[in-house]
């Protein structure tokens, strides 16, 4: 059965689904093609008649997440991707809390139509749930002379503006919007806290696993030059290059970053793209920008998964996986990526031993901007860990855990209300080798295990009952925060670093990462 809503641009018709009204593929900006490519999002003109809103729009241009996985974007899909989706249990006049999700994906992948981001379960909790697409990869974050930087962030602001202007018709309260996201999505939320154009568009923010890498403009320009050389064009000619050609060379800068990490922002980069500190859209690293108090009126939750970097360390052969666990995982891995993963799985133990022998934590510490003494301090602070495990700990701290902590510290110091969490529930995949890895909190947040990511995290099996209970606890906390600004645990203050421990039975601990915080404060001054 169709459900019609009148937006500022015209009438749309979605579907009724067991007490919810669902609308998909609503445009919030014109397709970024032709003269609009690499430009700020352009407003959508009004339309006559009724526009169907029953299917997701095209995804932003991107490659599959892993070789062999289905492509979510093909060249024939075009660039008509700037759209929002709404799941609502209410109607006009209800003024329900609104939650707006921003996906992650290393700044080069991500799509609001991913089944893992289906909003049905969250909406049934009593909120209006919104997801949307924004440009990723070179289209959204590549340096283009004469074009605005951080076009993906400009898309996000345009989508939030659409929410502010239209969400009341869907039963939402435009004055009670919570923006939340994970990884690159979490970093997006953190950046929006200090973005001048986004002020007043949301009241609360949840930053999950902030990706703590931000680029100076000079570095973004160097990456753009390498990509331009790879496709044979000069800096000013990117508009003549089709998206699929840029996608084919989007990682061309990564070998240079890994071979000479001292000349790049951070080693172990998993993507050439990151937000650019341009002084306009991104005024500074978020934990520095909000020290001014510019976001003190926004309530903030931020946190991390406890073993953030294991997911990436596994790809580098630094997480040991028992052969029996690998054998069990092969069918699941093949279902995700049928091209080459069996071979990679069979090679991984040998790779691990070779890389373990070459591991030099002193060099790692220097590459992270810490002195060589930091490696000694890490060994002293975590005496039970092997060098590969310390490597994972150091990168978990550098890329995710410390930036989340610094964000809470800065917000509290500026007079804002902040809460911090540590998600500790471990993935059962690969015999538990991944621990509480990066992305493990996404299925807990959305309350279901649809899609390839969940298949990977749960080893292709149904989630255990204890995970279901944990998800219920976490979602109840997020709902409470969205409705009232109180997630249900003690806030983080400058005097006490209170932290929610997300396990089957949640608890609260004071400063669980005090050893890492002490090392980073001593070495970096943060």
Provide the 8-state DSSP code for 240: G
> Which of 277, 292, 143, 149 lies closest to 220 in space, CA to CA?
143
Residue % of the chain over a pLDDT of 70: 91
Whether the per-residue pLDDT at 306 is higher than 90: the answer is yes
Tokens at residue 518, please?
A: 């002490």
Which residue is catalytic, options 21, 219, 411, 438? 438
Between CA 143 and CA 273 the distance in angstroms is 9
Give the residue among 358, 299, 275, 330 at the shortest CA–CA distance from 492: 299
pLDDT at res. 319: 75
Q: Average pLDDT for residues 362-368, to the nearest whole number?
A: 85
**Whether the Cβ atoms of residue 179 and residue 98 lie closer than 8 Å to each other:** no
Q: Residues 148, 154, 155, CA angle at the centre, nearest 5°?
A: 125
Q: Which CATH code, of 3.40.50.1820, 3.90.1300.10, 3.40.50.450, 3.50.50.60, is assigned to 2-215+277-295?
A: 3.40.50.1820
Q: How many CA atoms lie within 13 A of 336 on its CB side?
A: 19
Looking at residue 525, its pLDDT comes to: 52
Helices (H), 89-210: 120-123, 137-141, 151-166, 184-192
Render pLDDT for 127-141 as a digit per residue (tens, 0 to 9): 999 999 999 999 999
Q: Give the integer Cα–Cα distance in Å for 458 and 429.
A: 5
Q: What is the DSSP letter of 77?
A: G
pLDDT of 84 over the 60 cut: yes
Residue 203 has pLDDT above 70, yes or no: yes
Active site residue 183: yes
pLDDT tens digit string along 147-192?
Answer: 999 999 999 999 999 999 999 999 999 999 999 999 999 999 999 9
User: pLDDT at position 212, please?
Assistant: 87
**Residue 433 and residue 320: Cα distance in Å, rounded?**
7
CB atoms within 10 A of CB 350: 10
Q: For 178-189, how does the pLDDT look when each residue is reduced to its tens digit (9 = 90+)?
A: 999 999 999 999
DSSP string, 179-231: EEEETHHHHHHHHHTT-GGGTTS-SEEEEES-----EEHHHHHHHHHHHHHHH
Residues 6+ apart with CB under 8 A from 183: 104, 105, 106, 208, 209, 210, 211, 438, 439
Decide if pLDDT at 522 tops 80.
no
What pLDDT shows up at residue 355?
Answer: 44
Distance CA 134, CA 412 (A): 30
Asked if residue 526 lies in contact with residue 287, where contact means CB atoms within 8 angstroms, the answer is yes
Catalytic annotation present for 308: yes
Give residue 413's pLDDT.
Answer: 97
Phi, psi of 35 (to 5 degrees): -65, -15
Give me the pLDDT at residue 67, please.
Answer: 72
Whether 438 is catalytic: yes
List the one residue out of 408, 210, 213 whose CA is nearest residue 301. 408
Residue 327 makes CB contacts below 8 A (sequence gap 6+) with none
Separation between Cα atoms, residue 489 and residue 495, nearest integer Å: 16
Q: What are the residue ranges of helices labelled H in 359-421?
A: 361-367, 373-381, 387-396, 402-413
- Of 57, 183, 274, 426, the catalytic one is 183
Q: Could you report the per-residue pLDDT of 109-122, keeping only the tens digit for each?
A: 999 999 999 999 99
Please, what sign has the CA dihedral across residues 242, 245, 251, 253? negative
What are the sequence ranges of the domains in the chain? 2-215+277-295, 218-263, 310-356+404-524
Q: What is the mean pLDDT of the chain?
A: 90
Residue 331: pLDDT above 50?
A: no
Q: Is 341 a residue whose pLDDT tops 50?
A: no
The answer to whether 183 touches 25, Cβ cutoff 8 Å, is no
Residue 322 pLDDT: 60
> Where residue 353 falls among pLDDT bands split at 50, 70, 90?
very low
Looking only at the bridges linking them, the beta strands covering 11-17 and 2-6 are antiparallel
Q: Closest Cα partner for 524 from 414, 413, 366?
A: 366
Chain-centre distance of CA 344, in angstroms?
26
- The pTM for the full model equals 0.93
- β-partners of residue 88 are 21
Which residue, chain included where needed, has tokens 């003269």? 35
Catalytically annotated residue among 308, 454, 471, 516: 308
Tell me the mean pLDDT in the region 198-205: 97
The angle at the Cα of 307, spanning 306 to 312, to the nearest 5 degrees, equals 145
DSSP SS3 for 457? helix
């Amino acid at each position: 059965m169709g459900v019609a809503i009148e937006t500022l641009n015209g009438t749309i018709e979605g579907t009724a689904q067991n007490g919810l009204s669902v609308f998909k593929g609503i445009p919030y900006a014109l397709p970024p093609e032709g003269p609009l490519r690499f430009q700020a999002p352009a407003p959508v003109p009004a339309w006559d008649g009724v526009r169907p809103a029953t299917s997701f729009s095209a995804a932003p241009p991107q490659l599959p997440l892993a070789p062999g996985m289905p492509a979510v974007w093909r060249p024939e899909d075009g660039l008509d991707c700037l759209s929002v989706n709404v799941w609502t249990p209410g109607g006009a006049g209800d003024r329900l809390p609104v939650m707006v999700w921003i996906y992650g994906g290393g700044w080069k992948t991500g799509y609001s139509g991913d089944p893992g981001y289906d909003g049905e379960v969250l909406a049934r909790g009593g909120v209006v749930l919104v997801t949307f697409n924004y440009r990723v990869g070179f289209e959204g974050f590549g340096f283009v002379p004469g074009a605005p930087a951080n076009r993906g962030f400009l898309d996000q602001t345009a989508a939030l503006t659409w929410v502010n202007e239209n969400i009341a018709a869907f039963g939402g309260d435009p004055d009670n919007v919570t923006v939340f996201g994970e990884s690159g999505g979490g970093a997006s939320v953190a950046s929006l806290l200090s973005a001048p154009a986004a002020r007043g568009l949301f009241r609360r923010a949840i930053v999950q696993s902030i990706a703590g890498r931000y680029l100076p403009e000079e570095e973004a320009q160097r990456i753009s030059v390498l990509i331009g050389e790879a496709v044979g064009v000069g800096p000013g000619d990117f508009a003549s290059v089709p998206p699929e050609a840029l996608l084919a060379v989007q990682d061309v800068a990564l070998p240079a970053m890994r071979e000479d990490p001292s000349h790049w922002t951070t080693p172990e980069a998993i993507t050439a793209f990151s937000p650019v500190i341009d002084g306009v859209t991104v005024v500074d690293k978020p934990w520095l920008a909000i020290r001014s108090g510019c976001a003190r009126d926004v309530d903030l939750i931020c946190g991390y998964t406890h073993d953030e970097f294991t997911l990436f360390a596994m790809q580098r052969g630094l997480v040991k996986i028992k052969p029996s666990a690998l054998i069990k995982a092969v069918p699941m891995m093949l279902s995700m990526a049928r091209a080459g993963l069996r071979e990679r799985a069979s090679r991984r133990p040998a790779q691990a031993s070779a890389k373990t022998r070459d591991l030099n934590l002193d060099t790692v510490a220097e590459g992270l901007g810490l002195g060589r003494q930091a490696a000694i301090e890490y060994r002293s602070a975590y005496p039970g860990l092997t060098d590969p495990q310390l490597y994972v700990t150091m990168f978990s701290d550098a890329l995710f855990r410390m930036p989340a902590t610094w964000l809470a510290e800065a917000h509290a110091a500026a007079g804002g209300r902040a809460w911090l969490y540590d998600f500790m529930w471990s993935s059962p995949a690969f015999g538990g080798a991944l621990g509480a890895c990066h992305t493990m909190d996404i299925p807990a947040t959305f309350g279901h295990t649809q899609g390839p990511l969940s298949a990977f995290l749960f080893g292709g099996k149904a989630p255990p009952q204890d995970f279901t209970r944990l998800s219920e606890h976490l979602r109840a906390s997020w709902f409470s925060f969205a409705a009232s600004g109180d997630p249900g645990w003690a806030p983080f203050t400058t005097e006490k670093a209170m932290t929610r421990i997300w396990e089957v039975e949640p608890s609260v601990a004071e400063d669980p990462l005090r050893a890492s915080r002490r090392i980073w404060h001593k070495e970096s001054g943060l």
